[in-house]
Chain A
Amino acid sequence: MEAREQEFLDYVQGGGLVETDDWMPDEYRKRLIKFIEMHGNSELMGVLPERDWILRAPTLQRKLALTAKIQDEVGHCQLIYRVVEDLGKPRERCLDDLISGKSKFHNVFHYPTKSWGDVGVIAWLVDAAAIISQKALLKCSYAPYARVMKKVCWEESFHILHGRDTVLAMVTGTAEQRELVQEAINRWWEPLMHFHGTAIPAEEDPMVIWRIKSQGNEEARQQFLEGYVPQILELGLEIPDPKLRRNDECVWEYTEPDWDKLLAVVTGHGPASQERLEFRRLSRAETDWVSKVVLAEAA
Chain B
Amino acid sequence: MIWEVFRQERKGQPFTHGGSFHAPDQAFADAYAREFYARRGESVALWVVPREAINAIEEFPDEFDLKYRRVDGYSIKARLKEARDRAGTTAD
Residues of A within 8 A of B (CB): 21, 71, 75, 78-79, 82, 91, 147-148, 151, 154-155, 294-295, 297-299
Contacts and interface: CB of A to CB of B under 8 A. Distances in A.
Interface string B11-39: 00000011111101100100000011000
Nearest to A22: B58
Contacts of A297: 24-25
Contacts of A147: 17, 19
Contact of A79 (B2, B19, B42): B19
A148 B36 CA distance: 12
B2 to A, nearest CB: 8
A48 B28 CA distance: 25
B54 interface: no
Nearest to A291: B24
B36 A75 contact: yes
A298 B25 contact: yes
Nearest to A78: B21
Nearest to B24: A298
A177 B22 CA distance: 43
* A interface, over-half SS: helix
Nearest to B17: A147
Interface bracket on B: 10 to 19
B56 interface: yes
Contacts of A82: 2, 19-22
Interface of B: 1-2, 17-22, 24-25, 28, 35-36, 40, 42, 56, 58
A-B pairs, top 9 by smallest CB distance, nearest first, are A298-B24, A298-B25, A294-B24, A82-B20, A295-B24, A79-B19, A75-B36, A78-B21, A148-B19
Contacts, number: 34
B37 to A, nearest CB: 8
* B interface, over-half SS: mixed
Contacts of B25: 297-298
Contacts of A75: 35-36
18 contacts: A21-B56, A75-B35, A78-B22, A78-B36, A79-B21, A79-B36, A82-B2, A82-B20, A82-B22, A147-B17, A147-B19, A151-B18, A155-B40, A294-B28, A298-B1, A298-B24, A298-B28, A299-B24
A75 B34 CA distance: 12
Contacts of B17: 147
A155 B17 CA distance: 18
A299 B36 CA distance: 24
A154 B41 CA distance: 13
Given A75-B36, A82-B22, A298-B1, 17 more contacts: A21-B58, A78-B21, A78-B22, A78-B36, A82-B2, A82-B19, A82-B20, A91-B22, A147-B17, A147-B19, A151-B18, A151-B19, A154-B42, A294-B28, A297-B25, A298-B24, A299-B24
Nearest to A299: B24
A230 B49 CA distance: 47
